[in-house]
Chains A and B, each alone.
Chain A
């Protein structure tokens, strides 16, 4: 469904991605994990057309989409849920959801939109309860649900999720990840960027581990979860220890 072939991206003069290759097959949940500043979000922003890659190739749904605009990619079914949600705080939940269908609202029939809203309400019942409330008054978890719900209104083939667990209580994180897992079971392909490696590896089939703009490991999520290096570095088992060790090695 999605393929990156040696993507190189600069942020101004800073080399952010040093040749990143990865793929996501239809129906998969793939996690991209790694420390802060590794380039995970840059990968998403490059895929979704927010930043143009310097070199390399991105293929989506069999088409070369390298350099395509974010708008164009949304109409093709590739939708990003941004980090920090970026909702319209003054607008109601309902209005925010409708905005998600903006790209297709002209062509889409009223009944289709109603069906889609109903589907989002089914996935996130709380959004139905809050539909007239302004988005700014929602809790962090509800805002994340709204952000995902808004993305679903574009009827995506594939969702790009940027740090969905950010700033959320552990219990809410669990809810959100359950929803992501369910979405994939219903056929939506997911690429999720996470610092919460544990939560991400629990729902992903495969994962890539990034460091300083490079992918340093890849494999089945189950395999990576029991990798001692991952456990120490990202799963909270003796984090400091590995830092010391890599410093020594460097």
Chain B
């Protein structure tokens, strides 16, 4: 498959380092000059922009956290006057204040370029009909992927999310060849197609680009085999830009990072020190070209590892592992780290249940309990108590074997957990969190 921007995507290490250093220095200079938050942080640490003389000097710079961005709500972190901002997005904040992201005209231009690279890596060409099933709104997914697909020259259908039956109809009638959305939405589409009797063979889909949430290997396999497509994973963080930070090529051996626009570090979230390439840690991103909202050492809370081994596709960029865990999602119950992604993977191995679940954590009499709500598959709806009890026991057993903790299990009716997403996957009712 063609490489969208071979000059940078196949750039040598020496050239890339020079470019990154230049851009890191300009970013730091501008952030220090224009964003009071960074000016203050630098002063507190007793450092100045001119202390960044090597890329490794980035370790001297302060981190930026989600809370810092919330404290700066809505515009405090912007590095340019509002009249230079031409687009505003915001993260889903749950009950908390959202994170507001502003883009200048150049930022939008870069964004489209970077998403085009990711899409091209995933196999999308200008001849494709791209159905974007991300929500078009404040979140970055819809407009972000849309801009990249347009830059690529594809025919873009901004169908957004929801009204899934119509979505499937459009996919058939418009002969969409590329589906862009979250993996869980693709799963739901597959299920609905089964229910309303639309055979996947009646579609023209050949490629899927999925992002917005972790996609387990099992989920990918399921989507690929059911829809008959190549599914690639791509990565974005709305506070940093949105989609376009990294994406898999068709070899699916890690997500190629757009390193000319983002400097990535992987750190131990506890010690905050860098971990060696290949080891897991929290991904930290510094923007190298953002004008509207430059971000220095943003703590993504996503767990991954980075490799700099060359990829057979010819791109020289570093690659990161697909995100399977987040430090945020992780709950510690009785000293055991529970990652939702591991729970999902384990549910795939158990028959008669769907990989749709919710985790509730409660404290009773000083003891923590984890309750796992799991959807039964439609074929399993039965009155036979004995069978249900056996199933519960199987889940408990497997959970204990894999995660090291015995949960309480509650089986629920099919499709009752459809509204469970990244924000309410884990509900922690303990007072101290």
A residues lining the B interface (CB < 8 Å): 3, 5-6, 8, 18-19, 21-23, 55-56, 208, 211, 214-219, 223, 226-229, 245, 249
Contact = CB atoms under 8 A, between A and B. Distances in A.
A215 B106 contact: no
Contact of A216 (B33, B83, B105, B109): B33
A246 to B, nearest CB: 8
A112 to B, nearest CB: 34
Contacts of A228: 80, 83-84, 104
B29 A214 contact: yes
Interface in B233-290: 289
B49 interface: yes
Contacts of A223: 106, 109
A218 B23 contact: yes
A227 B29 CA distance: 17
B106 A21 contact: no
Contact of B84 (A214, A218, A229): A229
Nearest to B86: A228
Given A216-B33, A228-B84, A249-B34, 8 more contacts: A21-B21, A21-B25, A56-B53, A214-B25, A216-B30, A219-B289, A227-B104, A249-B33
A208 B26 CA distance: 9
B81 interface: yes
Contacts of B83: 228
B8 interface: no
Contacts of B80: 228-229
A56 B22 CA distance: 13
30 contacts: A3-B18, A5-B21, A6-B54, A8-B53, A19-B25, A19-B49, A19-B52, A19-B53, A21-B22, A21-B25, A23-B18, A23-B22, A55-B53, A56-B53, A211-B29, A214-B25, A214-B50, A215-B25, A215-B26, A215-B29, A216-B29, A218-B23, A218-B26, A226-B106, A227-B104, A227-B291, A228-B84, A229-B80, A229-B84, A249-B34
A8 to B, nearest CB: 8
A249 B39 CA distance: 11
Contacts of B34: 249
A194 B106 CA distance: 23
Contacts of A3: 18
Contacts of A227: 104, 106, 291
A12 B126 CA distance: 58
A6 B105 CA distance: 29
Q: A-B pairs with the 7 shortest C-beta distances?
A: A6-B53, A18-B50, A21-B22, A19-B50, A228-B84, A214-B29, A216-B29
Interface string B32-53: 0110000000000000011011
B55 to A, nearest CB: 10
B22 A215 contact: yes
A218 B261 CA distance: 12
B106 to A, nearest CB: 5
